[in-house]
Amino acid sequence: MLCKWCRSTEANQSNNTVYWELPDGSRAITINETPCIHCEDCGMQYQTDETTEIIENHLLLIDTKLLPDITNYEQLLAQPKILKRYYFDFST
């Protein structure tokens, strides 16, 4: 896999811990075991655009107040999306 920082081909899929600011800016949470690319050559660990998008989108759709300060990627994505229900609630 190609490292987007140093162009080395020594980059591998891995996972790491990331600190993510919530969309409303109220706090940051720790997300363990988040899929990342780890480059053996330059030591860089980074999330792909795809993973970043999945996390960002999901945080917009769930009730982030229910999130613990420390979670993991799987638990985060398991949080039920509430946005749709809110729409229904408002319309009834």
Q: Which residues bind Zn ion (CB under 5 A)?
A: 3, 5-6, 8, 39, 41-42, 44
Least Å distance, CB 2 to Zn ion, is 9
**Are 45 and 14 a contacting pair, CB within 8 Å?**
yes
Q: Rg of the chain over CA atoms, in angstroms?
A: 16
CA–CA distance, 50 with 77 (Å, rounded to integer)? 14
Which is closer to Zn ion, CB of 6 or CB of 78? Answer: 6
Nearest distance from C-beta of residue 5 to Zn ion, angstroms: 5
Nearer to Zn ion, 13 or 57 (CB): 13
Closest CA to 69 of 2, 20, 3, 34: 20
48 token code pair: 């792909």
**Is the Cβ of residue 3 or residue 76 nearer to Zn ion in the bound state?**
3
User: How far apart are CB 14 and Zn ion at their closest, in Å?
Assistant: 13
